[in-house]
Amino acid sequence: MSTAAIIAIVVGAILLLVLFVVGTRMARQRRLEGRRQKAVGLRQQAQHGERTAEDARAAADEEAARAQRVRAEADEKEAEARRHEIAAQERTGEAEGKTVVAREHHDRAREVDPDVSDSGEDEALDLNDGTDSASRPM
């Protein structure tokens, strides 16, 4: 072989080696760039997931606050209903007391009035009907 042929083979081998190294680096760079792009996509997905989770957390907090307000309103209405029940019971007791006093007065009037029968049936009927025996014709 001639020297020129050996130099051509060495230069060719060096060129092939350089092309191989450059090709390998370019392939590596493409792989790294692909991985970087994939990482960017994953980060964006993670950020979107974080925003979605934060929105869900905020909605849950709002719903819990709404439930607490509704519970407080219900408790307030229950307390108000109890107050009304107690007031109604007190008024019922007062009415019963006044009825007893009214009957006692009727009994006393019947004892005193010579024109009324002592049985008290008319007055009892009047009390049940809501009329007065004095207004009824005799």
**Structural domain boundaries in the chain:** 3-133
Count the residues in the chain: 138
At 52, which helix (H) or strand (E)?
helix 3-112
Give ∠ CA 37-41-47 in degrees, rounded to 5: 140
- Each residue's pLDDT expressed in tens, for the chain with a length of 138 residues: 799 999 999 999 999 999 999 999 999 999 999 999 999 999 999 999 999 999 999 999 999 999 999 999 999 999 999 999 999 999 999 999 999 999 998 888 888 877 766 665 665 666 677 655 444 444
Which whole-number Å values give the CA distances from 6 to 10, 18, 20, 110, in the listed order?
Answer: 6, 18, 21, 152
